[in-house]
Chain A
Amino acid sequence: MNDIGYLSLVIAFGVAAYATLAPILGVKTGREELVRSAENALLALFGLVTLSSAALLYAFVTRDFSVRYVANYSERGLPLAYTISAFYAGQEGSLLFWTLNLTLFGTIVVIQNRRMHRALMPYVISILSAVALFFLTLMVFVTDPFARLPFTPPDGRGLNPLLQNPGMFFHPPTTYLGYVGFTVPFAFAMAALLARQLDDAWIRSTRRWTIFAWFFLGLGNMFGAEWAYGVLGWGGYWGWDPVENASFRPWLTGTAYLHSVMVQEKKDMLKVWNLALIIMTFGLSILGTFLTRSGILSSVHSFGESTLGAFFLAFLAVIILGAFGLLINRLPYLRSENQLDSFISRESSFLFNNLFLVGIAFTVLWGTFFPILSEGVRGVKITVGPPFYNQVVIPIGLALIFITGVCPLIAWRKASMTNLKKNFLQPLVTALVGGALLFIFGVRHLLALLSLALLIFVTATIVLEFYRGTRARHEMAGEGYLRAFFILIARNKRRYGGYIIHLGVLMVILAITGGAYKVEKEATLKKGEEMQINQYVLRYEGLSLYPTQTQQVAAATVTVFNQGKKVGKLTTEKVFHKDEQQPHTRVAIRMTLKEDLYIILAGFDESGTATFRFIINPLMVWMWLGGFVMALGTIIVMWPDKRERRRAARYALGEAPDAV
């Protein structure tokens, strides 16, 4: 099986090389059959990579420890689910996983476009195959997933226990789906440039791909945060670690891109900018993949020794130089007739939305790479930590929330006083009243107060939109309010799905804002002793030590009293794997809509005395709820729409587009 796995990769390498070159040759010589054969080659590529992945999975499931990768990341006792997730736990496997997803997406693109976008497809095929070729080169020549050990060890080294939980089962694949997904819009963008077909066909046809990639990247970040919070057990969810930053950046530029393409669709503006954004997003995705692998930045994630740094850097240079070079070369084709008319307009609010998002992305990039830059320039490594990011990103973030409220409602071209009054007067008053009430009830943290007032403002604009739309349907079509509400969403999936995503983002920001009121306390307690944190009284009930089959567990139980009322017991543990020196701390979390009570067992001695760290994380649960709401909105936005599909099909076949 292992030979089949490697052999498939070798053949795939050849096929990918063919699929990269053949379509270009086909265009140059006008031989359509070459393009068709390259499309089929891409399908074959998917088959080969699937076969290779199946072989690796087979090696994992059958515990074939003669394969180095399998021996390094699994062991006999590892449950099946984590044996499967071990597939993408390390470098070689994640490269294979990347390629598998890429060729799957390529296959879907080919099937979707058998009759559409014929002028773009040769280039799309070529670029997708070229990216696959890069990853296959790494696996075939540099770091073979099927490499054998000189002898077969009796058991594998196992998977890090920190990676054995649901969060880590989902975090890598979702993040990768995001990274890989951006390859498709990138390929279409490059194809549009190469074919000089610079209307917005490439944008329209990749809209779902972009949303798909954006969604999964966001989800990946969310799973990562959830894992950091619930499993890593330091009381927070985000540490501005270089690798966290790496997956955050393409999400930011991807978000900017999703918004600014609307300006191109409606107003035929920002063409160059949109191309630049998708190049940046794809570049940052590759950079993200690379950073996770290279270990050039010190991170809690580092995968240790890796030989791939130079390859990724070269690939990244080719992408950035090639893509931007091409973009500059095609500038004459990218003129726009339209111009900005006024600052007080939808166009301009999109522009600021983009500036803020890209501004955050570059701040994060700058902060992450500053140690390397400063070492190169001045010979000293200088680093910036979380205070830097918080100080810079929070003000930009607040401005961004404000724009989130303004952008969807302000008029195109130039907003009149009437337009502004109609859409913003009520939300503004609501926000001011809400802010004043919060102040009276004790919210005195300036940034938190500002953030909350802005959240109220944006929520009010969205609620108002739903209310007006529903009422209009109710009055015109005579539908009941509930029915009118659902039909309103169903008939305008992009718009109202978008609002729902915005609501989800607001919930996430609410949770982040809650961090301003985080309270932390350490306490050493003897059995039966109590301590107080905010309105909670916590009584330590004692430590129980017991062995399980593979572990030694120390469990500390705490009874929680909320405002004098007993609300339950929490248990936090330290687990010692039998043959590991490294303990694993399991935190205890009591979640409510208002706040999380978070308890870490920091240490204990033989007498049963224990030291705890107690944390109150206000509004934390809204982050996860916000994630669900964003997912709901994304599903609505992505849901197939008959009218839209008909329009797109006509458009792609070269007929005149409808007025939108």
Chain B
Amino acid sequence: MSMKKKRTKFIIAPAVVLVALGYLVYAGMRDAMLYYLTVSELKEKVPSIYGQGVRLGGRVVEGSIKWDPIALKLEFIIADEKENTLPVAYKGVVPDTFKGGVDVVVEGKYSPQGVFIANILLAKCPSKYEAKT
């Protein structure tokens, strides 16, 4: 085999692997992409956003939390910096760091009834205490 042919061969194999990797990433993105929105951005996208998977970030409004510790049903209001708010409903185990005033990320769908139905709830875990008030 000539040198040149050989070199081509060894470029093709990694190239094939890279294309395969590229495809995996592409397919993964296609299936797993989610909008990451604030409350205001979500409201702008009504009605096309109904029923779509969304990740929503914001702050838990103090005093808005309703928690049923037996049914594990949690309701609270999430707000963004512009003080646009949205009710959120979640069912499941609530992270310890969840409380009024903390930043949370919820993942789920916005329903035409005006409630964000979350199936994932993440609360930020600050490396230090918030100032005690």
Interface residue ranges, A against B (CB under 8 Å): 72-73, 89-90, 157-160, 162-163, 232-234, 298-304, 339-340, 343, 348, 351-352, 355-356, 359, 363, 366, 370-371, 380-385, 387-389, 391-392, 395-396, 522, 524, 579-585, 600, 602-605, 609-611, 613
Q: Which residue of B lies closest to A524 (CB)?
A: B70
Q: Does B5 contact A (CB under 8 A)?
A: no
Instruction: Given A233-B96, A351-B14, A391-B27, decide whether A380 and B35 contact each other with a Cβ distance below 8 A.
Output: yes
B129, A158: Cβ atoms closer than 8 Å: yes
A527 to chain B, nearest CB (A): 13
Contact pick for B96, options A162, A301, A384, A609, CB 8 Å = A162
A55 to chain B, nearest CB (A): 21
B126, A605: Cβ atoms closer than 8 Å: no
Q: Which residue of B lies closest to A575 (CB)?
A: B96
By Cβ-Cβ distance, the 3 closest A-B pairs, closest first, are A603-B69, A388-B32, A381-B36
Q: Does B117 contact A (CB under 8 A)?
A: no
A524, B71: Cβ atoms closer than 8 Å: yes
Q: Which residue of A lies closest to B73 (CB)?
A: A603
Instruction: Given A160-B127, A163-B127, A611-B72, decide whether A339 and B35 contact each other with a Cβ distance below 8 A.
Output: no
B69, A604: Cβ atoms closer than 8 Å: yes
A237 to chain B, nearest CB (A): 16
Q: Does B84 contact A (CB under 8 A)?
A: no
16 A–B pairs (Cβ distance < 8 Å), ordered by A: A89-B127, A162-B97, A162-B125, A300-B125, A304-B127, A339-B7, A355-B17, A355-B21, A356-B17, A383-B36, A385-B55, A388-B33, A524-B70, A582-B96, A604-B70, A611-B72
Given contacts A385-B32, A388-B33, A524-B71, 18 further A-B contacts (CB under 8 A): A73-B128, A157-B131, A157-B132, A160-B125, A160-B126, A160-B129, A163-B127, A298-B57, A299-B124, A304-B126, A383-B34, A384-B29, A384-B32, A384-B33, A388-B32, A392-B24, A581-B99, A609-B70
B128, A72: Cβ atoms closer than 8 Å: yes
Q: Which residues on B sit within 8 Å (CB–CB) of A366?
A: 25
B70, A359: Cβ atoms closer than 8 Å: no
Considering the complex, which residues of chain B in the window 7-50 have a beta carbon less than 8 Å from any beta carbon of chain A?
7, 9-10, 13-14, 17-18, 21, 24-25, 27-29, 31-37, 41
B18 to chain A, nearest CB (A): 7
Considering the complex, which residues of chain B in the window 98-133 have a beta carbon less than 8 Å from any beta carbon of chain A?
99, 105, 107, 122-129, 131-132
Q: Which residues on B sit within 8 Å (CB–CB) of A302?
A: 124, 126
Q: Which residues on A sit within 8 Å (CB–CB) of B6?
A: 339-340
Q: Does B51 contact A (CB under 8 A)?
A: no
B42 to chain A, nearest CB (A): 11
C-alpha spacing A162/B124, complex, angstroms: 12
Q: Which residue of A lies closest to B33 (CB)?
A: A382
Interface residue ranges, B against A (CB under 8 Å): 3, 6-7, 9-10, 13-14, 17-18, 21, 24-25, 27-29, 31-37, 41, 55, 57, 67-72, 92-97, 99, 105, 107, 122-129, 131-132
B95 to chain A, nearest CB (A): 7
C-alpha spacing A324/B18, complex, angstroms: 22
A602, B29: Cβ atoms closer than 8 Å: no
Q: Which residues on A sit within 8 Å (CB–CB) of B24?
A: 363, 391-392, 395-396
Instruction: Given A388-B32, A522-B72, A524-B70, decide whether A303 and B127 contact each other with a Cβ distance below 8 A.
Output: yes
Contact pick for A396, options B21, B29, B68, B94, CB 8 Å = B21
Q: Which residues on B sit within 8 Å (CB–CB) of A355?
A: 14, 17-18, 21
Most buried by A among B72, B93, B122, B123: B93
Q: Which residues on B sit within 8 Å (CB–CB) of A387?
A: 28, 31-32
Most buried by A among B29, B31, B37, B123: B29
Contact pick for B17, options A163, A304, A352, A609, CB 8 Å = A352
Contact pick for B95, options A234, A299, A351, A359, CB 8 Å = A234
Q: Which residue of B lies closest to A602 (CB)?
A: B93
A401 to chain B, nearest CB (A): 16
Q: Which residues on B sit within 8 Å (CB–CB) of A384?
A: 28-29, 32-34
Contact pick for A385, options B68, B93, B107, CB 8 Å = B107
Most buried by A among B27, B57, B99, B124: B124
B72, A89: Cβ atoms closer than 8 Å: no
Q: Which residues on A sit within 8 Å (CB–CB) of B71?
A: 524, 611
Q: Which residue of A lies closest to B55 (CB)?
A: A383
C-alpha spacing A660/B98, complex, angstroms: 59
Q: Which residues on B sit within 8 Å (CB–CB) of A581?
A: 99
C-alpha spacing A157/B71, complex, angstroms: 34
Q: Which residues on B sit within 8 Å (CB–CB) of A605?
A: 69-70
Q: Which residues on A sit within 8 Å (CB–CB) of B132?
A: 157, 579
A300, B94: Cβ atoms closer than 8 Å: no
B35, A391: Cβ atoms closer than 8 Å: no
A584, B33: Cβ atoms closer than 8 Å: no
C-alpha spacing A159/B125, complex, angstroms: 12
C-alpha spacing A159/B126, complex, angstroms: 10
C-alpha spacing A609/B3, complex, angstroms: 77
Q: Which residue of A lies closest to B21 (CB)?
A: A359
